[in-house]
Amino acid sequence: MSAAAELQQAWTAVAGSPLRGRLRVPGDKSVSHRAIMLGALADGVTRVTGFLEGEDTRATAKVFERLGVRIETPSASERIVHGVGLHGLRGSDAALDCGNAGTGMRLLAGVLAGQAFDSVLIGDASLSKRPMRRVTEPLAAMGARIDTQDGGLPPLRIHGGRALQGIEYTLPVASAQVKSALLLAGLYAQGETVVHEPHPTRDYTERMLAAFGWPIEFAPGYARLCGGHALRATDVAVPADFSSAAFFLVAASVVPGSDLVLDAVGMNPRRTGLLAALRLMGADIVEQNPRSEGGEPVADLRVRHAPLRGVEVPQALVPDMIDEFPALFVAAALAQGRTVVSGAAELRVKESDRIASMAAGLRALGARIEETPDGAIIDGGALHGGEVDSLGDHRIAMSFAVAAQCARGAVRIGDVANVATSFPGFEALAAQAGMRVDPA
Ligand code: S3P
């Protein structure tokens, strides 16, 4: 299929049956990216299980193959990464394509800033509009030289052979991507790299660096490491992605008669803000069999239908549910009463402007929603069918598939091909649970 035809893929979603049974959503995207990166930079062979076979993470694996790393694929959810050591990457004449992945590009900027060779990072149309100064500026303060396009946009031209120096940096906006880029550059820097965050964000890079044997000190909102050590290969077990589970948590909450179990969902506290927000709204979600897998907390989540009510989403939860707002907006549109989201301006610079995308789509389905610069005010009610555009944003597409399960009438969702970036096989798993999402 040509790229243009792919971009025109659409779904028709209609109300299905109550969501029931047990299912496991694919592996965590954030952890999968990092497992490839640290595996590549380690000495020895890293086996990754539960790997997300999505386009974003495949793009990252391909970048490292271009940089001379051998990566085997014994099965879709496994990768064997033959690490080349911290200084073993080889330069690539071709530009390195990160696809749709902000995480891929921003973390790679940190890794490549410390190499002896030059690199160019490119991305798709959406990634090419996303702000990169948030990484290039602090990396420049460490001694890196990275050229961007006007406005700090990709492609990024990263100059090699620069001596990096550790810095102490306070992030202006909570971002695990920026924190991780600096820590990865810090592996190559002289002295100490210290990062402070205005609010703690996901700490997968820190945990994984420790698991790969790199001395690192970290606590919520803080991380500190020094250059000059080595990474030792280790196996990585990737938990199921909470952000993918989120669509089913909302769908089963809003569809009467639902009773669904999501197996082995990653429960890192920096990811589960949606659980807290849905519970404030009255959701019935129980954590079963909590345990640790591959150093990460996981649990089976049993979710049963419950009437939801509008809430003011506490701003403190925002970074812990930053990827879940499209799903939350759907829950709010179907809840009783008013939901207010604020302090979430970052949503405007994700794969799409998620406040605008959700407001436009929900309005097309009859919802009452008012945009604010950093959030939205949503008055819950009933939804009807209609046509919405996911603007190439995977999480917008899947959120409207959830909304359709409670809409009176079919919802046609345009531009859904990018669902494969984070959740290949979404339609099949949704159908298994009872939802109806079909090619348009
Ligand atoms: C991610 C961090 C978050 C999140 C993204 C994945 C990561 O982005 O939205 O989906 O893996 O570090 P920001 O760092 O821009 O908040």
The answer on whether 58 is annotated among ligand-binding residues is: no
The Å distance, Cα 175 to ligand 1 centre, comes to 6
Which of these, 185, 189, 218, lies nearest to 204 by C-alpha position? 218
Q: What percent of the chain stands above pLDDT 70?
A: 98
pLDDT tens digit string along 120-161? 999 999 999 999 999 999 999 999 999 999 999 999 999 999
pLDDT tens digit string along 156-192? 999 999 999 999 999 999 999 999 999 999 999 999 9
Query: Can you say whether residue 228 is alpha, beta or left, with left for phi > 0 and alpha for psi between -120 and 50 degrees?
Result: left
Three-state SS for 21? strand
Between vectors from CA 319 to CA 32 and to CA 33, what angle results, nearest 5°? 10
pLDDT at position 2 over 70: no
Which of these, 185, 179, 204, 176, lies nearest to 146 by C-alpha position? 185
Q: Would you give the distance in Å from CA 34 to the centre of its chain?
A: 12
Domains of the chain: 3-27+240-439 (3.65.10.10), 29-237 (3.65.10.10)
Backbone angles phi and psi of 340, in degrees to 5: -120, 125
53 DSSP 8-state letter:
-
- Pocket test of ligand 1: the residue of 32, 36, 103, 274 to mutate, having most ligand atoms within 8 Å of its CB, is 103
Q: Which residues, at least 6 apart from 428, have a Cβ–Cβ distance to it below 8 Å? A: none
pLDDT at position 4 over 70: no
Which of these, 342, 406, 346, lies nearest to 371 by C-alpha position? 342
- Pocket test of ligand 1: the residue of 30, 60, 195, 238 to mutate, having most ligand atoms within 8 Å of its CB, is 30
The Å distance, Cα 338 to ligand 1 centre, comes to 28
Beta strand 168-170 with 192-196 is parallel
**Residue at 121: amino acid letter:** L
Peptide bond into 215 cis (omega under 30): no
Q: Residue 37 is encoded by which pair of tokens?
A: 């990166």
* pLDDT, position 316: 96
Among 8-12, 106-110, 124-128, 301-305, name the one with the lowest average pLDDT: 8-12
* Mean per-residue pLDDT of the chain: 97
pTM over 0.95: yes
- Residue with CA closest to ligand 1 atom 9: 323
Measured over the CA atoms of residue 129, residue 131, residue 133 and residue 139, the dihedral's sign is negative
Which of these, 43, 44, 39, lies nearest to 57 by C-alpha position? 39
Which of these, 215, 217, 165, lies nearest to 189 by C-alpha position? 165
Per-residue buried b or exposed e for 371-400, using 16+ beta carbons within 10 Å of the residue's own CB? beebbbbbbbeebebbebbbbbbbbbbbbb
The Å distance, Cα 346 to ligand 1 centre, comes to 10
Residue carrying the six token digits 């509008």: 310
Give the Cα separation of 109 and 96 in Å (integer). 11
Q: Residue 365 is encoded by which pair of tokens?
A: 């389905």
Give the Cα separation of 438 and 440 in Å (integer). 6
